[in-house]
Structure 1
Amino acid sequence: MLRLVSRAGLMTTLAFAAPAWATDPAEEPPPADQEITVTGVRQAYRGDFTLAEIPQSIAQIDEAVVRENNFVRLADALDLNASVSRQNSLGGLFDSFAVRGFAGDENIPTGYLVNGFNGGRGFGGPRDVAGIERIEVLKGPAAALLGRGEPGGTINLVTKQAEIGRTFGSAAVQAGSFDRVRTEGDVNLALTGGLTARLIGYAEDGDTFRDQVHLRRWGLLPSIGLAIGPATRLTYDFEWTRVETPFDRGIVVLNGDFDTVPRDRFLGEPGDGDHVARATGHQLRVQHDFGSNWSLLVGASLRDTLLTGFSSDAELVPSRQKIFVDGRSLSRQRRSRRYDSRQWVIRAELSGEFEVAGLRNRVLVGADHDRFDNDQQFGRVRPAIVTGSTTDRAGYVLDILDPVYGRFPLPTPGPQNDRLDVQQSTGLFVQDQIELTDRLQLRIGGRYDDVSLRTLNRLTGIDSHRSAGRFSPQAGIVYRLNEPLTLYAAYGEGFRANIGTDVTGAIFDPETSRSKEVGVKLTALGGRLTGTLAVFQLDKANVLASDTGNPGFSVAIGKARSRGIELDLTGRLPGDVEVLLSYAYLDAEARSTLLEPNFNFQIRPGDPLVNIPAHNLNVQASKRFAIAGRDALIGGGIQHVGERSGETGTAFTLPAHTLARVFGEVEAIEGLTVFASVQNLFDARWYANSYSPLWVQPGAPRTAAIGLRAAF
């Protein structure tokens, strides 16, 4: 691909074969003040298309925007796009989000792609943004091509890769609130004319706004690029990361009072120690160009993760929870986890073009195979049923108003779940986009998936097997109305095997989906302002939710639907003001009836899906200028998240919140920049996600950081 990077860091990704202005008259060459860097790496699943030609809404979050905001977590960066909603994050130990209202399996981290490879389902801890060049939010009915994803969309992380023939680097150090210190570095070294190594690393240590919760994390993310002649490139990427922090379920909310306890109060047990999340990953990709019209991309990916630790969590069953009796004695269960996963993927695709009857056809043909091994050993000991004679020790009680940690010996968890899930998927896909006229293009395609799932429950001895296959069609149309506006419509079907079983050992039916979308794309101000307005509806069947009474297992809740409107705008306005605006209205709801026997709640058609706000908005503006001849930047943003359901099947609701942030930087001397940021500027009280009123994750208060960045 050809990567065009403006000084402000807003990025337009184009195909390698030809610049966008050569294939789309609505897009002009970049202005003279842009730097052009050719990396020669083709984007997986993309083909030779400009963004305006794709019948799909695609939002891109560039590294420069993330860096200016001083975001260091993937979850914070994804907040920049309003179609993405935070979900329950397993005590802060994995990434979980929904796109257009649909989140996937609550018991497994939300899946995402890394350079086009499935790579997000393991338990390696929350993803750091170090090593990420850009984040692509691929929305809508694209499952026919990508496969096994949520119908709302897929997140693709494009990593920083070795750039052939160049030597450059940067390093940064910063200090922030709660005694947090972070360092990171990125060095690209041209070793020979065709061999380049890129070395990326980060380390972070410090407290958090939560009492008793300390955080340590580090990672090494090197990349090697090798040019084998003018038409072939080999790229190898390595990932080695570690996160150490206590498991933290958050706060409790009694009778709708979000001031029940301070937002910094830890309700776990310091004696449990840290949970440790580790990840080791490898990616190898080979690209070969057959002249100017055809290209082959072949690759493989392997990622191992391991999460281990103990935690003390609030008991959710009312009959075992003393806090519902006196309003202060929190009965807790103690849990142990050893979650071991391995995912490996191989994939190949051939893209190119030809003419038939005078019509230009651009095709993409490929195949992939994915295997995911998920080995979960989970133990727990629960508090006794509350009676008049139940002691605080039997309830493993913590006084939420005056906590005394270490009051009782730590209970020893007994086996609750010891299960191995092995999911294998093989997919074949084909896509053809036909230029019917110089304004009208038609896309047709489809994907066939063959999926098998084995679940071995070592505690019960039940060994379950299931396999299924399905063809998922895709269709889209693109019409360039005039120079600034392009209309599009798309339809797609999706298919994904549900991993795991219910508590009896039965494997669930595969999840199926249908997606419809229409929209308009804008390219104005000579390509400096781009945007997409879309209207969509997504329908899913065989949807799962966590089995609250049996952790690690799921229950089928039937059908769900999400529909809405979204608007994404990004670009540079006159006066060199960089803007980013993202808004989404989502109506995501259950479409089936379910009675949950353990907690006696009922899901009814029309009930909202958990943690999905109806309204979500993120707007940001920044400007570069000079101070005493030195480059400087100042900017700010506002995020508004509306009310949303905080528990499946009940009326518990998380309140809306509005957060403000400011950021800036100035070049102190040539090659050395001072930067600073303040998140939650007005110290609003907010809540990131919730599973129940006793497991509510509070958001961070006002948080500041300042640092130095050197570059050569």
Structure 2
Amino acid sequence: MSAFSKSLRVAAFTTAACIPQVALANIEVDADRDYLPTEIVVTGSLDGYSEDDGSTGTKTPTPLVDVPQTIAVIGQDQIEDQNLRQLGEALRYVPGISIETGEGHRDAVFIRGQETTADFYIDGIRDDAQYYRPLYNVERVEVLKGPNALIFGRGAGGGAINRVAKIADPYGLTLAGNASVDSFGGFAFAADVGTPLAEGIGLRLNATYEQFDGARDVFEGEFFGIAPTLTAEFGDTQVSAFYVHDEDDRVTDRGLPSLGTGPIQGYDKTFFGDPDYNRATANVDIARLRVDHKLSDAVSINGTLQYADYDKYYGNIVPTGATATTVTLSGYDNSTDRQNLIGQANLVAEFQTGEVGHTLLLGVEAMGQESIDGRNRVLFAGGATSTTVPLGRTISVPAFTTTFQRERNSDLTTLSFYAQEQLDFGPLQLIAGVRYDRFELDTFDVGSSTALSRTDEKWSPRVGLVFEPLEHVSLYASYSQSFLPQSGDQFTVLSSTTALLEPESFDNYEIGVKWAPRPNLLITGAAFRLDRSNTQATDPLNPGAVVLTGASRVQGIELSVTGRLTDNFDISGGYTYLDGEVREDTTSAVAGTRLEQLPEHQVSLWGRYKLTDRLAIGTGVIHQSSQLVPIGGPVRLPAYTRVDAGLFYDATDTIAVQLNVENLLDEDYYPAAHGPNNIQPGDPLNATLTVRMKL
């Protein structure tokens, strides 16, 4: 057997849903592989920041070192040490990701140069509406780099972001809580309570309330979330039920306009909007039921059904340009009502034919989605859609009204089948599979009374080789593919043009190495090339039409280290080099243009060092090179370096106090943008004091 080969005996294992199982996923290690733990209980880290669960990347119980793909994991210990409460905060420490401001009301990122507002998952199930995702009920965050439609379906051109939810323990008590206050005046409370209800049945409740504030002149809001979970075991069957209710209400902050080639200077605290109109609200309800059943020692099945209801609204006055003395403003409000129903089922069989080990995955997924998206336009005096006002420390927004602009209704249905085989030949392992997707979108534009539809059927392959020349080292090479319909990742409406066009295609080639020098430390390196094709371009023979001849390429290298360097020192960090450009003219840029929000160099490093049994210190650094916003334009976000710090003290065995300081050196920096005139300044020095209790 190979160095990383396992005999996997799983009573109820994690698959793409990647639900943490409590004392269920026992992974027996060959006797000569003692650098890996004899048991992986995927409820968090192995030890400190260490992680070894790679099941999200394969839909099978596969160790992280055996997945031929770059995967970054932020575990529960790191989430607590950095006092992370929202997904966007956690992603700032992941190399290869640039933060997009998301119009001040949603998660939006660039992964390896590919923008997305929809490639988000919870326990492997799609969670694609536009809102800010909290972490109060999350065990860990996984970032899987590169397109991989076999696992995730359409989209995920640069990768996918999966949150693993906390799960109830049928056999143990959970009692934890924390309270935080920061130097801006914001505060938060959270509780995590779990108890067995009967033999094999456990209930867990996570809840939080947060009020936030910031350095900007007008910014405030509140968040409330509650997430009960229930786990029940009946012999070889486990049933897990989840429910999440989140309410978010905050100011819509669109940041600063640009002037010349960068952010306008001297106005980092100025609010370029209307304090009453610039509001964003989100009410999110997600209910999920999962059943795992062991048919035999070698065969297991699971099924998940998820219903999600998203009710979103945001209104904003937004800067659209500036001079040395004036700023131009426009505005609109937008509402989205969306319901998703997703069903997924998987069968995993493990068996041996001669000297070859097999792990076979067969799966099916179906989805129905209904969306209503409406927008009203702001009108100023005389019916103008924009106005120019004096530039000053405080912006005075003239009186305005709103009028109907559009309403778009869409019905999306998908049906997918996939198969994957993992073959173990000893020192060589092969992962190969393919997914079939049938994608049907019907849209209706209320304003124009236009109904359009399009159906796509796509095959998406994946293949990877893992070779283990030494006991602690694996080398891999992989190819994967994904696609995205021309309607975009939110699928609100088709146009007469996009209804006729084939989906965009993403092809990823990657080689890498993973090295586990000790049981709780993983060092990885990868080189990749990501080609995007079927991008819209202007037809040279008919300038009024578009053709699918546009293309772009991103290539680079990524290095990371995660885990315990010494008995007292935990570390999580990495470096990414990115080079990307348009290769064939698109409708937004000509060949040779560097892609937007693609910093050439990214460095992130966070470490915690234990000084005594009760006292520890932490420090972190984030660096990004300058980056274009948008593609082809003159505006750049300047390069920046941010330093963070932490101090941790265990007052008793159950009470801990920590102090986190973000932007310790109080640097002026601009980490995110949404085009050239919505540039978000980073916060100045901010200290947060947290008290934690855990029994």
Q: Give the structure-2-normalised TM-score.
A: 0.89
1:26 to partner: Cα distance: 7.2
Question: CA offsets per residue over residues 257-303 of structure 1, 9 Å max, x none?
Answer: 53533211101011315221111111110001123222111011111
Name the residue aligned to 1:60: 73
Q: Distance in 1 between matches of 2:315 and 2:609?
A: 47
Name the residue aligned to 2:129: 122
Amino acid at match of 1:668: A
Q: Distance in 2 between matches of 1:555 and 1:220?
A: 48
Q: Distance in 2 between matches of 1:453 and 1:23?
A: 53
**2:30 match: secondary structure:** helix
Q: Does structure 1 residue 541 correspond to structure 2 residue 536? A: no
Pick from 212, 217, 229 the counterpart of residue 218 of structure 2: 212
Q: Does structure 1 residue 461 correspond to structure 2 residue 449? A: yes
Q: Distance in 2 between matches of 1:362 and 1:458?
A: 49
Amino acid at match of 1:644: Q
* Deviates further, 135-144 or 15-24: 15-24
Q: Distance in 2 between matches of 1:274 and 1:215?
A: 9
Amino acid at match of 1:249: R
Distance 1:431 1:394, change over 3 A: closer
Q: Distance in 2 between matches of 1:489 and 1:687?
A: 36
Name the residue aligned to 1:186: 192
Distance 1:604 1:624, change over 3 A: same
Contact 1:564 1:587 in 2 (8 A): yes
Q: Does structure 1 residue 264 correspond to structure 2 residue 269? A: yes
1:646 to partner: Cα distance: 1.3
**2:671 match: secondary structure:** strand
Distance 1:394 1:414, change over 3 A: closer
For these two proteins, the number of residue pairs brought into alignment is 659
1:14 to partner: Cα distance: 12
Amino acid at match of 1:72: R
Q: Does structure 1 residue 376 correspond to structure 2 residue 354? A: no
Amino acid at match of 1:63: Q
Q: Does structure 1 residue 558 correspond to structure 2 residue 550? A: yes
Distance 1:312 1:544, change over 3 A: farther
Distance 1:21 1:283, change over 3 A: same
**1:67 match: secondary structure:** helix
Name the residue aligned to 2:4: none
Matches within 5 A, 1:480-519: 480-499=468-487, 500=491, 501=493, 506-507=498-499, 508-519=501-512
RMSD, matched Cα: 3.0
Distance 1:254 1:163, change over 3 A: same
Q: Does structure 1 residue 283 correspond to structure 2 residue 288? A: yes
Question: CA offsets per residue over residues 584-638 of structure 1, 9 Å max, x none?
Answer: 111122223245xxxxxx5111212221211111012212242xxx522211111
Question: CA offsets per residue over residues 349-386 of structure 1, 9 Å max, x none?
Answer: 011212234421111110101223232101113568xx
Distance 1:79 1:41, change over 3 A: closer
Name the residue aligned to 2:17: none
**2:151 match: secondary structure:** helix
Distance 1:17 1:661, change over 3 A: closer
Question: CA offsets per residue over residues 278-334 of structure 1, 9 Å max, x none?
Answer: 111111100011232221110111111112242111236xxxxxx44xx32222222
Matches within 5 A, 1:409-420: 409=399, 411-420=400-409
Q: Distance in 1 between matches of 2:32 and 2:407?
A: 55
Q: Does structure 1 residue 589 correspond to structure 2 residue 581? A: yes
**1:90 match: secondary structure:** helix
Contact 2:47 2:520 in 1 (8 A): no
Amino acid at match of 1:479: F
Question: CA offsets per residue over residues 118-139 of structure 1, 9 Å max, x none?
Answer: 01x213x311111110111112
* Deviates further, 678-687 or 80-89: 80-89
Contact 2:58 2:67 in 1 (8 A): no
Q: Distance in 2 between matches of 1:556 and 1:219?
A: 44
Name the residue aligned to 1:353: 350
**2:113 match: secondary structure:** coil
* Deviates further, 217-226 or 355-364: 355-364
Contact 2:55 2:64 in 1 (8 A): no
**2:632 match: secondary structure:** coil
Q: Does structure 1 residue 695 correspond to structure 2 residue 683? A: no
1:141 to partner: Cα distance: 4.7
Amino acid at match of 2:521: L
Distance 1:680 1:543, change over 3 A: farther
Distance 1:517 1:178, change over 3 A: same
Amino acid at match of 1:336: D
Distance 1:652 1:382, change over 3 A: farther
Name the residue aligned to 1:253: 258
Distance 1:447 1:659, change over 3 A: same
Distance 1:705 1:2, change over 3 A: farther
Question: CA offsets per residue over residues 420-467 of structure 1, 9 Å max, x none?
Answer: 12222111110111112x211112111111111111111001101000
Distance 1:31 1:294, change over 3 A: closer
Contact 1:15 1:49 in 2 (8 A): no
Amino acid at match of 2:141: I
Q: Does structure 1 residue 631 correspond to structure 2 residue 617? A: no
**1:75 match: secondary structure:** helix
* Deviates further, 673-682 or 142-151: 142-151
* Deviates further, 44-53 or 534-543: 44-53
Question: CA offsets per residue over residues 38-72 of structure 1, 9 Å max, x none?
Answer: xx998684313222222222221101101101121
Amino acid at match of 2:114: F
1:559 to partner: Cα distance: 2.0
Name the residue aligned to 1:365: 362
Name the residue aligned to 2:108: 96
Contact 1:498 1:511 in 2 (8 A): yes
Matches within 5 A, 1:52-201: 52-91=65-104, 93-104=105-116, 109-119=117-127, 121-123=128-130, 125-201=131-207
Runs of 4+ aligned residues of structure 1 deviating over 6 Å after TM superposition are 12-15, 30-36, 554-557
